[in-house]
Structure 1
Amino acid sequence: MSKTNDARTPLACLYHWEKTTPDTIHLTQPVGGGKVVDYTWKQAMDEARRMAAHLQSLNLPPKSQIAILGKNSAHWMLADWAIMMSGHVSVPLYPTLNAETVRYILDHSESKLLFIGKLDEWEQMKSGVPASLPAITLPLAPASAQGSKWEDIVARTAPLQGNPDRPLDEIATIVYTSGSTGQPKGVMQTFRSFNVCGTMMRDVIPANQNDRMLSYLPLAHVAERLVVENNSTYHGFHVFFAESLETFVADLRRARPTIFFSVPRLWTKFQLGVLDKLPLKKQKVLFSIPFLGKKVKRKILEQLGLDSVRVAFTGAAPLPPPTVSWYRSLGLELLEAYGMSENFAYSHFTRPGNARVGYVGPTNLGVSCRIGDNGEILVKSPAQMLGYYKEPEKTAECYTEDGFFKTGDMGEIDEQGRLRITGRVKELFKTSKGKYVAPVPIENKLGSHPKIEAVCIGGANQPATFALVLLSEDARKHIAAGGDRAEIGSELTSLMEQVNETLDPHEQIQFAVVVKDTWNIDNGFLTPTMKIRRNIIEKRYEPSVDQWFGSRKTVIWE
């Protein structure tokens, strides 16, 4: 769409594509057995219009909250469109929440209706859905989910006529934070934020109708909602969906995305998968051979399904610099981005050709950023939230007097205006030596090792810091099959020595604990965006800390 459409809402963009490219495929949904269903703009909008007409027929109060609980799918997006079209407010829920959090969000948001979509853990979360809450099940919903069926509703309901639109400054959605600390907060975002991200992102992601993206990170998170759903709405490109973790590589190869977004944990997993088949030493030898090196790099990207990618980026958490450098050595200029639910992820983005490893780039168009007296990153964005739903006091606390949002992150800005995240204000802790330690930079240094999947640095009120280490999946399998721990222990010892040489004395790691738990979303150790839940991890291992210090070992196997 041209710049003359810059004042348009997402709804106006949907009507544009429905009218101008009705037979162009917009959504491709896997349905099992290697089969997919394609939806053209005309077909997608026909279903959304029918559901919007049904929602209006329910005579809910104007601007009622309607929740969406499900994994990414074509109908997740169609439900979102229908909610917008019918004059209501969407409340997306992560598909990995426990029943208690599901109930909290549904109650706190005062949702009047729930769309239930594709879910792996429905049996564990369904008790969090009030029996009195009306529900509509999407086509890939669990068979045991109760509610009116989407297919039945659209079959009997005539499509909504005309092109109903919404004011830019009207609330569009309430996005609940992933809750890495405490209860999730409801971030109220307007249609203007959708518009800002759809139009002002052109200078960093120059998307067009010919692009392709794979949607697999939670649409309940603002980053996926902005980068995939909203950008495809404004720019009209083709969206493919992933079926499952088992089919992910096939899904990726089917889509052959031209724009690809992932989080650090997954970028690391992709890399570890390659290193398992082609170790780093062998790569260096092959890459040094002019013609063969280029061919091998191309083959690696093909195997990953990333050979058509022209824009690749990462966000949500820091990515170890060696991992970024490795992808760039393959010819994939992995760009780092930074944003929050509170500014609809519209904050900072690395520009192609101007990357600095470890930095998330300069501000986006219209964004102002400065570092506060305490080192905190302060941001003012045109996509700033209206506030936290039903929490005016918390809303007021998170702003400076001149309207900058207090991100809670610490950082520094280089001479070219590029931002570096150095940690979280609340994550700083003091050892018994009385000096502050910022854990994130240390975690990034350790996390760059190919046999480490995740790290959490602890040591509050202790004589020194220590590392809780989750080994990579391959390393865990190796140990489970009777592999020698001594070799990995030796590598961890060498790694700590190398890292300690770069740290101040009070930051240096005394020992590493190889944990036996797998940290994942289901057991609560990770947020839905795969960041570590530091408070949960610290609580889990706290009872053993004194014993570990007393053992005086460098590497401890839990």
Structure 2
Amino acid sequence: MTNTYPTIIDNFCRFEKSQPNKLFLSEPVKGVYQDFSWSKAGKEIRSMAAWLQQSGLQHGDKVAILSKNCAHWIMADLAINMAGMVSVPLYPNITSTAVNEILLHSEAKTIFVGKLDNPELIRMGIPEEMTQISFPFYLNVGCLNWDDLVRTSSPLTELSPLDPKALSCIIYTSGTTGTPKGVMHNNHTMSFAVYSFLESTPPLKDEVFFSYLPLCHVAERMLVECGAIFTGGCIHFVESMDSFSKNLQYTQPTIFLAVPRIWEKIREEILRKMPQHKLSKLLKVPIVSTIIKKTIRKKLGLGRVKHLYTGASPINPTVLDWFYQLGMEIQEAYGMTENSALSHSNRKGACKFGTVGQSYPGVTVKLSEQNEVLVKSEANMLGYYKEPVLTAEMFEDDYLKTGDEGQVDEAGYLKITGRIKDQFKTSKGKYVAPAPIESKVLSDAMIAQACVVGWGMPAPLLLCTLSEHARQLAQTSLQEHLHQLLEKINQELEHHEQLAKLIIMAEEWTIQNGILTPTLKIKRKVLDETFKDFYNNWYNASVKVVFA
């Protein structure tokens, strides 16, 4: 390590002292915002850190967090860190079985339980002997009460400096590639990632963040939690996805991150209120165009935004271009849990749509012989918890193997062309890379989600779901459009890549039905397992467009 960077606790203490009365966290509970200044939050964090130390837990013990995003999620995470322990954040919508597996694997001793949709059900996965602490506003039976513990514990005043090399958190991956793995990060890897990001971004001050993507996911944790704490900003939370628009309008963030599916939903929402032909017409009139753009951004809640980001999975360049016409430059970024989300991003004013941008300062990139993207930086993980063999497989000469296939242009912009492992072989012995084909399909406004499958089949099939607009069309005109789309795409593909059939799935793919990860990425293996028995029938159907 060449440099030592201030840790998340160093930064929290700095702003707690320099701006004690400034807003730090704001959370809507039953429509009423509960506000926490840096000082108010600090007292609770310090008291909870003291309680953790006095509860019989040892330095370096694991403490889990099971909750949707809320003010006390951040406070619990900081208290765990301040107490010299290791946080293990869990997705709030995983099954009780998965909760049990992760808690046992991580050897967590205590768990914070907060805002959940089905607390009784999900808590069935928590071992009986484990200490459970319930957040305020979301009281759970049989748990210790956060407020009681804070009230009866004197806040820590003297803090021991955190060892940069000490394990800080174990972040379990969302499981697109199989069983979740525990990614280990220490205080240094995370601080390095934040400072590298800040070095590549115009100075951030008094920024307002909107938190709704799972905080246990590395992108939200690094951009929103660390972004606010390392720059003295404030975080507003969503109450529920039903109140998303209302909460976003109230917050008016200056920095906003959304995964591609959210950006697509926002576009659908805008087009529902103003059809494309009308919007295109108005955007051609100079003064009207300015008013329209400003009005749309303000109504969305993005009227004062400085930076818009997308990440977690590939976004279609046509979506980015569409928003750009509205004066919204979305910066696509690229990273993994395994490198603290620090790899590449497009910089504001220099975005190259269709790429994930240039590498961050301190990140070295190279391509393997198979064009796999390999990255090296001080933000790379220590390894997978209790998995030395898997850890060794992830590295090649200190470079992290991303599993993504890519190309780098002369200006250093990286384009992701697919997943190395997502490629499959047809029965004709030819390999097919799904991602580029899916990208072509998703540029069509009728398609909401797409997945190319066909391992061992004579030719690939396209499974997809329809956009809301498409579902409102008459069956005949929809079928005609889909036939034309299939023909158009096949003309652009190599013979062995051409799609045999377009399969319209009856049900949207969601987190609830197990096909999307918590960050809305498609679980290809789950789709394959669920529908593979139908593939031959669909392939042999007499029509090109099959409604499943």
* 1:204 Cα offset (Å): 3.3
Structure 1 residue 260: deviation in Å? 0.7
Q: Are residues 1:555 and 2:539 paired?
A: no
- Cα deviation for residue 179 of structure 1 reads 0.8
Alpha-carbon distance, 1:209 to partner: 3.1
Give the one of 58, 63, 68 matched to 2:60.
Answer: 63
- TM-aligned CA deviation for residue 485 of structure 1: 2.1
Aligned residue identity for 1:421: I
Q: Tell me the distance in 2 between the aligned counterparts of 1:465 and 1:145.
A: 51
Q: Structure 1 regions of 5+ residues with no counterpart?
A: none
Superposed CA RMSD in Å reads 1.4
Q: Which moved more, 1:279-288 or 1:205-214?
A: 205-214
State how far apart, in whole Å, the 2-side matches of 1:439 and 1:17 are: 47
- State the alpha-carbon separation in 1 of the partners of residues 452 and 91 from structure 2: 27
Partner of 1:188: 184
Q: Could you tell which deviates more after superposition, 424-433 or 384-393?
A: 424-433
The one-letter amino acid paired with 1:205 is T
Instruction: Work out whether residues 460 and 498 of structure 2, in 8 Å CA contact, stay in contact via their aligned partners in 1.
Output: yes
1:294 and 1:161 map into 2 onto residues whose CA distance is 53
Structure 1 runs of 4+ aligned residues shifted over 3 Å read: 203-207, 473-476
User: How much does 1:309 deviate?
Assistant: 1.0
Say if 1:209 and 1:238, in contact at 8 Å, map to a contact too: no
1:509-533 CA distance string (max 9 Å, x none):
1211111122111221001111000
Whether the aligned pair in 2 keeps the contact of 1:69 and 1:115 (CA below 8 Å) is yes
Query: Of 411, 423, 431, which residue of structure 1 is paired with 2:426?
Result: 431
Relative to structure 2, which stretch is displaced further, 445-454 or 483-492?
483-492
What is aligned with 1:76? 73
Equivalent position SS for 2:168: strand
**8 Å Cα contact 2:427/2:456 also seen in 1:** yes
1:18–1:42 Cα contact (<8 Å) kept: yes
2-structure distance, mates of 1:488, 1:382: 51
1:475 to partner: Cα distance: 4.1
Deviation at 1:313, TM superposition (A): 1.0
Are residues 1:499 and 2:496 paired? Answer: no
**Corresponding residue of 1:368:** 364
- Preserved contact between residue 207 and residue 233 of structure 2 (Cα < 8 Å): yes
Structure-2 residue corresponding to 1:115: 112
Q: Does the residue aligned with 2:358 lie in a helix, a strand or coil?
A: coil
1:380 corresponds in structure 2 to: 376
Does 1:451 pair with 2:449?
Answer: no
Does the Cα contact within 8 Å between 2:427 and 2:457 map onto a contact in 1? yes
Q: What's the counterpart of residue 29 of structure 1?
A: 27
**Counterpart of 2:99?**
102
Stretch deviating more after TM superposition (193-202 or 64-73): 193-202
Q: How big is the shift at 1:145?
A: 4.4
Name 1:16's counterpart in structure 2.
14
User: Structure 1 residue 233: deviation in Å?
Assistant: 1.0
Q: Secondary structure at the match of 1:382?
A: coil
For residue 86 of structure 2, what is the aligned residue in structure 1?
89
> What letter is aligned with 2:57?
L
What is the CA-CA distance between 1:119 and the residue it aligns to? Answer: 0.8
* CA pair 268-145 structure 1, distance change in 2 beyond 3 A: farther
1:42 aligns to 2:32 (yes or no): no
- Aligned partner of 2:199: which letter? D
1:16-415 matched pairs, under 5 angstroms: 16-32=14-30, 34-141=31-138, 143-400=139-396, 402-415=397-410
Q: What secondary structure, in the 3-state scheme, does the structure 2 residue paired with 1:267 have?
A: helix
1:208 and 1:236 in contact (8 A); partners too: no
Tell me the amino acid that sits aligned with residue 483 of structure 2. Answer: T
Structure 2-normalised TM-score?
0.97
- Equivalent-residue separation in structure 2 for 1:404 and 1:359 (angstroms): 21
300-309 or 254-263, larger mean C-alpha shift: 300-309
Q: For residue 34 of structure 2, what is the amino acid of its counterpart? A: V
* CA-CA distance at 1:157 after TM superposition: 1.5
Aligned-pair identity (%): 40
Structure 2: state its 5+ residue gaps. Answer: none
Equivalent residue number for residue 509 of structure 1 = 499
Partner of 2:461, secondary structure, is strand
Q: Secondary structure at the match of 1:516?
A: coil
Structure 1 residue 144: deviation in Å?
4.3
Q: What amino acid maps onto 1:350 in structure 2?
A: N
TM-score between the two structures when normalised by the length of structure 1: 0.96
Equivalent residue, structure 2, for 1:521: 511
User: In structure 2, what is the equivalent of residue 539 of structure 1?
Assistant: 529
Kept in 1: contact 2:461–2:539 (CA 8 A) = no
- How big is the shift at 1:123? 3.4
Q: Distance in 1 between matches of 2:40 and 2:407?
A: 48
Aligned residue number for residue 464 of structure 2: 469
- In the alignment, the residues of structure 2 paired with residue 51 and residue 228 of structure 1 have an alpha-carbon distance, to the nearest angstrom, of 22
- Contact 1:6 1:199 (8 Å CA) reproduced: no
Determine if contact 2:367/2:373 at 8 Å carries over to the other structure.
Answer: yes
Deviation at 1:47, TM superposition (A): 0.3
- Residues 447-489 of structure 1 show CA distances to partners (whole Å, capped at 9, x for unaligned) of 122232211111211121111111124544x3xxxx6322222
Question: Aligned in 2, Cα 1:206/1:59: closer, same or farther, shift over 3 Å?
Answer: farther
Q: Distance in 2 between matches of 1:146 and 1:325?
A: 51
Counterpart position of 2:5: 7
Q: Distance in 2 between matches of 1:549 and 1:60?
A: 58
Cα separation, 1, equivalents of 2:222 and 2:127: 30
Aligned AA (2:546): I
